[in-house]
Amino acid sequence: MKILKKSYYNNPWNIVDFVKSLTLLIWVIKNLSGEYNVEFTCIMASVNFVRGLTSFKVIHGTRYYICLIFRALDDFKYFLIIFFYSTFCFGVLFYIAFEVDEATFNNLWIEPFKVTFANSSYDAKEFGIKYLGLLIANIINVIIMLNVLISILGDSYDQFQIEKVIVDIKARTEQVLE
């Protein structure tokens, strides 16, 4: 940081390192003062785990998989936007169809998200708009979106296989520079 000054922050992993150090310092100070916060502890642990995951790039046998994980995360970020949007839209539709009293986070997001994993409290006992809504939500969010995700990850893997040697050398170089 001292030598590179502002350009130090051009590398996103340096920002993660800074955030990791800062959250760890704040967490230690809070714990010493008797303030324990579960949410902050989870944030601190998550940042440390993410940074720890990248340390596996040093090991030849795990470097490939870590690079593949980050490639896959990068490739399906736009998929997540569409998935979140469709889940929220179904939440609004279920809110209307099931005549829910209140538009809460649970009603607009949690319950429609549970529909995707067949764990919802929504129940359609007879064929009608509620049943069709649940059916369409399952077809779109489970069958179609899951297949799209598999296709994205398959393409990502294929592209990664083509660039395997280049990615390996690049990952080693980045690790040395870091």
Residues with Cβ within 8 Å of residue 108, at least 6 apart in sequence? 88, 91, 92, 95
Asked if residue 134 lies in contact with residue 112, where contact means CB atoms within 8 angstroms, the answer is: no
d(CA 148, CA 167): 25
- What's the pLDDT score for residue 42? 94
pLDDT of residue 48: 92
CA 118 – CA 120 distance, rounded (Å): 6
CA distances to 13, 17, 22, 29, 55 from 41, in Å: 20, 17, 12, 12, 21
Per-residue pLDDT tens, the chain, 178 aa: give them: 778 788 878 888 888 888 999 999 999 999 999 998 899 999 999 999 988 888 887 787 888 788 888 888 888 888 889 988 988 988 888 888 888 888 888 888 888 888 877 776 777 777 877 778 777 887 888 888 888 888 988 888 888 788 777 877 887 787 777 6
Would you state the pLDDT for residue 58? 79
Q: Using alpha carbons, select from 102, 104, 122 the residue that is nearest to residue 112.
A: 122
